[in-house]
Amino acid sequence: MNSMSTDAGLLDQQDSLSSLRSKFSLPEGMIYLDGNSLGPLPKAVKSRVDQVMTEQWGNSLITSWNKHQWINLPQRTGDRIGALIGAAPGQTLCCDSISINLFKVLAVALQLRPGTVVLSTEDNFPTDLYMVQGLRDLFSARSIELKLVAESELTASINNDVAAVLVTHVNFRTGALLDIEQLTAKAHACHAAMIVDLAHSAGALPVALDAWQVDFAVGCTYKYLNAGPGAPAFLYVAKRHLGKAAQPLYGWMGHADAFAFSPSYQPAQDISQYLTGTPSILAMSAVDAALDVFAQTNMQAIRDKSMQLGMVFQSEIARRGLDQYLTLMSPSAPQARGSQISYAHPHAYAICQALIADGVIGDFRAPDYLRLGFTPLYTSFADVFMAVDRLERIMQDEVYLEDKFQRRQKVT
Ligand SMILES: *Cc1c(COP(=O)(O)O)cnc(C)c1O
């Protein structure tokens, strides 16, 4: 055994989370560094969805809405997600997608706050920016303006014209982490609402929405929460805003008394108002089951291991001199980034394809980023060393120049 694999062995032995890998169905031999895009299948999800299909839907049919409490699954699952993001019960709901949830919370923030500017960052995830543009165009009379600045300019750009500051906690390309508590304080000093996208935070690192006094948040469950492709997202509305203004997608599930079937809309006064239509029970049962694994650890332990995995990867890249080809685009200090590391390279797409062909799954983000996620629940230190070994061979032999790795597919 060489010294590297001894290191990996020792690190894996000391890893208090190592037993959790067995909770996931991962293909033999695959090194999965893309849990930041789509988490793998938890075994508990498979059995829960099967149970909900056969026992609940199959046997109890429509009576399941009461009998199996399907009716309040969005609230129950929401509260369980809330526990992972520092939200007391009654403020988090599992529903819809990030995009739709953003529309809802943005519309409420704009009703509650006097400003007209939605301030965000140039390289925020596009759907976040598109939803603001959609609202702006729909309510053109209000002359809402989307203003985009560099992350470093954010704090200085918050002023009294701003109605809402919309940021993603962890930058999806670089992994850079924003100081949400400090941004929220500045937003509040300027009478603006703080809206945070937790797509790359929920299940990846400790978040304290209540303590930071964030106003609204959204996030998905298919990345670090491992609930499956297109699984329902979540939203958070601070208690002080509930019942103050209604989100405008007046669906019957958000009515104060849905089963009165009244022709006129009366908004529920609690978080339920943020529901729209009938929830996807199968998909939401998957979310609920995927959360079980988090009861066996805590967000700080997950964060500690994620930083350690990232540091090991980074130092192996440097030790082998690979940093002369790959430019680190993430903050160098693990405390300053989320659970991913990105490198820029003119052939990033092809390098990623060559890695995938070699059993290491990462992803590519335009324009030229190779993005690797370090997800502590199922990634071992041995995985990290093997991933660097394979990356080293691909870089040194310029394997990525092969034609087959250069062809672009629809989803990157
Ligand atoms: C993944 C991601 C999304 C995706 O939004 P959906 O509506 O769930 O497709 C949105 N914002 C950020 C920051 C993301 O990383």
The rounded distance, in Å, linking the Cα atoms of 289 and 135 is 34
Would 115 be classed as within a structural domain? Answer: yes
Instruction: Judge if 258 and 331 occupy the same domain.
Output: no
Residue of 195, 220, 342 to test ligand 1 pocket, by largest number of atoms within 8 Å of CB: 220
Would 157 be classed as within a structural domain? Answer: yes
Instruction: Judge if 104 and 151 occupy the same domain.
Output: yes
Instruction: Judge if 92 and 215 occupy the same domain.
Output: yes
DSSP string, 199-238: TTTTTTS---HHHHT-SEEEE-SSSTT---TT---EEEE-
Would 39 be classed as within a structural domain? Answer: no
How far apart are the CA of 198 and the centre of ligand 1, in A? Answer: 9
Would 263 be classed as within a structural domain? Answer: yes
Instruction: Judge if 332 and 277 occupy the same domain.
Output: no
CA distances from 352 to 4, 253, 322 (A): 24, 43, 15
∠ at Cα 263 (258, 268), nearest 5°? 35
Instruction: Judge if 211 and 244 occupy the same domain.
Output: yes
Instruction: Judge if 316 and 402 occupy the same domain.
Output: yes
Instruction: Judge if 130 and 181 occupy the same domain.
Output: yes
Domain boundary among the residues 254, 270, 295 is at 295
Q: Whose CA is nearest to atom 14 of ligand 1?
A: 199
How far apart are the CA of 67 and the centre of ligand 1, in A? Answer: 33
The rounded distance, in Å, linking the Cα atoms of 390 and 31 is 11
Instruction: Judge if 200 and 279 occupy the same domain.
Output: yes
pLDDT in tens, the chain (412 residues): 455 666 899 999 999 999 999 999 999 999 999 999 999 999 999 999 999 999 999 999 999 999 999 999 999 999 999 999 999 999 999 999 999 999 999 999 999 998 999 999 999 999 999 999 999 999 887 889 999 999 999 999 999 999 999 999 999 999 999 999 999 999 999 999 999 999 999 999 999 999 999 999 999 999 999 999 999 999 999 999 999 999 999 999 999 999 999 999 999 999 999 999 999 999 999 999 999 999 999 999 999 999 999 999 999 999 999 999 999 999 999 999 999 999 999 999 999 999 999 999 999 999 999 999 999 999 999 999 999 999 999 999 999 999 999 988 888 7
> What are phi and psi for residue 117, nearest 5 degrees?
-95, 135
Instruction: Judge if 112 and 213 occupy the same domain.
Output: yes
What is the DSSP-derived secondary structure letter of residue 115? Answer: -
Which strand (E) or helix (H) includes residue 121? strand 117-121
Q: Is the peptide bond before 367 cis (omega within 30 degrees of 0)?
A: yes
Would 238 be classed as within a structural domain? Answer: yes
Q: Whose CA is nearest to atom 5 of ligand 1?
A: 98
Would 366 be classed as within a structural domain? Answer: yes
Instruction: Judge if 89 and 16 occupy the same domain.
Output: no
Indicate yes or no: pTM above 0.85: yes
Atom of ligand 1 nearest to the CA of 200: 15
How far apart are the CA of 28 and the centre of ligand 1, in A? Answer: 29
Range of the structural domain that residue 283 is part of: 48-295
Atom of ligand 1 nearest to the CA of 101: 7
Atom of ligand 1 nearest to the CA of 223: 1
**Quick one: tokens of 280?**
């996807």
**Active site (catalytic) residues:** 125, 197, 222-223, 371
In terms of Cβ atoms closer than 10 Å to its own Cβ (0-12, 13-18, 19+), residue 313 is buried
What is the total count of domains within the chain?
Answer: 2
How far apart are the CA of 222 and the centre of ligand 1, in A? Answer: 10
Would 196 be classed as within a structural domain? Answer: yes
Would 38 be classed as within a structural domain? Answer: no
Instruction: Judge if 62 and 202 occupy the same domain.
Output: yes
Instruction: Judge if 228 and 141 occupy the same domain.
Output: yes
CATH (domain of 355): 3.90.1150.10
Pocket of ligand 1 (CB under 6 A): 97-99, 125, 127-128, 168, 172, 197, 199-200, 220, 233
Q: Are 383 and 390 in contact (CB under 8 A)?
A: no
Atom of ligand 1 nearest to the CA of 230: 8
How far apart are the CA of 71 and the centre of ligand 1, in A? Answer: 26
At 244, is the secondary structure helix, strand, or coil?
coil
